[in-house]
């Protein structure tokens, strides 16, 4: 399993717009093959910073989503709201037998 973590920093006035985009997109992202979970988080100390976590069966599932027309439309709207460059990581859970 792969977890994609994306850090997004928005201009304060754009936070409501991002929240609407995320709410409208979350269920549709879950419909993509291999997507297991999509969650959003807002930083407690800096409310302009958000994180999205999406869980995928495998990297190719994430890449298929990222190549989709849907992703390009949503990302096109979202990136207009940024105050800073987004950061992203693809990570795997450490399995230590617990």
Residue 15 per-residue DSSP state = H
pLDDT at 97: 58
pLDDT at 94: 87
Please state the φ and ψ torsions of residue 55, each to the nearest 5 degrees. -105, 130
Question: Candidates 3.30.70.100, 3.30.465.10, 3.40.630.30, 3.20.130.10; correct CATH number of 2-91?
Answer: 3.30.70.100
Residues of the chain with pLDDT under 70: 96-98
Q: How many CB atoms lie within 10 A of CB 96?
A: 5
- Give the global pTM: 0.92
88: which strand partners?
6
């Amino acid at each position: 399993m792969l977890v994609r973590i994306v850090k997004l920093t928005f201009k304060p006035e754009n936070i409501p717009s991002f929240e609407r985009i995320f709410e409208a997109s979350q269920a549709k992202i879950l419909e993509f093959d291999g997507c297991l979970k999509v969650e959003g988080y807002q930083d407690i100390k800096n409310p302009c910073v958000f994180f999205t976590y999406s869980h995928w069966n495998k990297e190719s599932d994430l890449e298929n989503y990222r190549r989709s027309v849907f992703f390009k439309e949503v990302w096109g709207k979202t990136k207009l709201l940024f105050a800073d460059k987004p950061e992203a990581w693809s990570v795997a859970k450490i399995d230590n037998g617990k």
